[in-house]
């Protein structure tokens, strides 16, 4: 235990007196290297669609995504996370478009890695953008999400992405055992360098609404929910079990989702496992801050940067955030 001089010999405000001292003793800081930028991509050319519930966020076609990738390179944002907007005509109950080697995601990955080989590219491994019912897995006759049958499909999806050249696959489905199955398949196919960032503690949260609008799964999901596979928001010990299982199965990095409402989970995971730990500042968090700033209730840049600092302080090594480019510009300036 550390002992500190009592007042007046000890005056903590001495270290807050001026900016240079505050900078010298600051315990945590946000850099552009801490940020991953989630983007929504759709098929076609010269396609740009605003996401109404996420001010400043757009769905874009590949030709318009390439300049965004270039901005990431210029601003020092090390990676993009791709989320596809799939043509409704391609959505099926089994989500078979998810493992089409000529599908949207593999084509975008190939183009990004060809144009910007040094930019990290991360892909989502989950079926909800591809299924006609909006769930992350296959359904039985009662509508229950099947675990093992879904894993077989997720393995095909992950392999298609790895074969396209993706750097990181990120299973977000929360099926039991999917990390081990994907890791074994990657090894068998000699994709030994493909990293896995597991959505290990993904909660059945109400903060995902704008994201589902963005990828077009909200209408398919309807009044259904994902509580039979995503975690109960009331549980914390369970998160540690989930992380432990994913690490044992071969995950390289783990993630907590959502972000700010679950900073206690980030802290527990980092303290317990000391592995690369990420948090996702999800669409609902972004939308709330944007709306409050637009109404003049909060200072946009200050709350943006403070929220990102909170992730670092809680123990996150990096943050997936729709603020990535704005924050990187702020840091640059």
Helix 300-314 and helix 324-332, axial crossing angle in degrees, nearest 10:
100
Selection from 154, 116, 121, 163 nearest residue 135 by Cα: 154
How far apart, in whole angstroms, are the C-alpha atoms of residue 210 and residue 216? 10
Give the three-class secondary structure for 83: strand
Other C-beta atoms lying within 10 Å of the C-beta of residue 119: 17
Task: Name the phi and psi angles at 89, rounded to 5.
Answer: -65, -20
Catalytic residue among 91, 113, 156, 202: 202
Annotated catalytic residue 270? no
How far apart, in whole angstroms, are the C-alpha atoms of residue 207 and residue 314? 20
* Own/partner long-range contacts of 267-274 (Cβ < 8 Å, ≥24 apart): 267/314, 267/315, 268/236, 268/239, 268/240, 269/200, 269/201, 269/239, 269/240, 269/243, 269/315, 270/314, 270/315, 270/316, 271/315, 272/240, 272/243, 273/243, 273/244, 273/247
Angle at 153 between CA 256 and CA 194, to 5 degrees: 55
Annotated catalytic residue 226? no
Catalytic residue among 257, 270, 290, 312: 257
**Annotated catalytic sites, by residue?**
202, 257
């Amino acid at each position: 235990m550390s002992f500190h001089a009592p007042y007046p010999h000890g005056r903590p405000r001495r270290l807050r007196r001026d900016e240079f001292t505050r900078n010298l003793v600051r315990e945590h800081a946000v850099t552009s290297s801490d940020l991953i930028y989630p983007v929504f991509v759709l098929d076609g050319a010269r396609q740009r669609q605003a996401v109404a519930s996420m001010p400043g966020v757009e769905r874009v076609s590949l030709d318009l995504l390439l300049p965004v990738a270039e901005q990431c390179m210029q601003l020092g944002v090390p990676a993009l996370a791709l989320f596809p907007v799939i043509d409704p005509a391609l959505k099926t109950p089994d989500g078979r478009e998810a493992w089409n080697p000529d599908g949207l995601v593999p084509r975008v990955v190939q183009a990004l890695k060809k144009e910007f080989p040094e930019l990290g590219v991360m892909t989502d491994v989950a079926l909800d953008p591809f299924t006609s019912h909006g769930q992350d897995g296959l359904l039985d006759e009662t509508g229950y999400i099947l675990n093992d049958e879904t894993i077989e499909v997720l393995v095909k999806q992950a392999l298609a992405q790895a074969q396209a050249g993706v750097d990181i696959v990120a299973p977000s489905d929360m099926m039991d055992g999917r990390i081990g199955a994907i890791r074994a398949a990657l090894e068998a196919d000699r994709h030994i360098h493909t990293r896995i960032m597991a959505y290990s503690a993904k909660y059945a949260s109400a903060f995902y609404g704008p994201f589902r609008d963005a990828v077009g799964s909200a209408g398919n999901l309807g009044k259904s929910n994902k509580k039979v596979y995503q975690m109960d928001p009331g549980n914390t010990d369970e998160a540690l079990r989930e992380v432990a299982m994913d690490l044992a199965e071969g995950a390289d990095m783990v993630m907590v989702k959502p972000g700010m409402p679950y900073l206690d989970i980030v802290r527990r995971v980092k303290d317990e496992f000391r592995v690369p730990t990420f948090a996702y500042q999800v669409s609902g968090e972004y939308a709330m801050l944007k709306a409050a700033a637009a109404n003049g209730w909060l200072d946009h840049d200050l709350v943006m940067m403070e929220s990102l600092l909170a992730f670092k302080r809680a123990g996150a090594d990096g943050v997936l955030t729709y603020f990535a480019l704005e924050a990187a510009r702020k840091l640059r300036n």
